[in-house]
Amino acid sequence: MNAPSITRAQIGRCGELLTQYRLLRLGIDSALMTTDSGVDLVAYVPGYREARTIQVKTIEKPAAAGGRGKTELTWWFAPHCPAEFVAFVSLHTEQIWIFTLAEANELAQQRPAHGLKAHLYMHLEDVRTRSGHARTHVDHFDDFLIERRLPAVLMNSPPDA
């Protein structure tokens, strides 16, 4: 018997809940938003003055680049979303990378002309472009893994006195 497939909405909710769980394991309280306004989670670090907003983008598993290429993790996101941070979640490995919105925009490899979406991807295999330059490999993003970035990245405002 095949396992039931889950919907895109369920994949998204899994990513939000996984991110919320990992934040809590790091001592950071967060709450899910009830409406889709471009912010999925509001996080609060005890002892700090401001809450932080996070957009969560989730994929279930890697995909072939362009449908036939090498395997990659790939997410589309809104480059002008109201959240301060974007968390990129891969459910198959339960890995989470977190970027400021500015970092996500800077590192996105594709930005269609209409400017409504940006594309961030991470190759799982070594891939070379026609010109011989290495493309972005998942290992290049290790410093953005949630355990390495938090809570420091959320605590960029001075603590309460």
pLDDT at 35: 87
Task: Say yes or no to pLDDT of 84 above 90.
Answer: yes
User: What is the number of other CB atoms lying within 10 angstroms of the CB of residue 136?
Assistant: 15
pLDDT at 65: 79
Angle at 22 between CA 35 and CA 57, to 5 degrees: 45
pLDDT at 29: 92
Average pLDDT on 123-140 reads: 67
pLDDT at 144: 93
Class of domain 8-150: alpha beta
Task: Say yes or no to pLDDT of 46 above 70.
Answer: yes
Task: Say yes or no to pLDDT of 161 above 60.
Answer: no
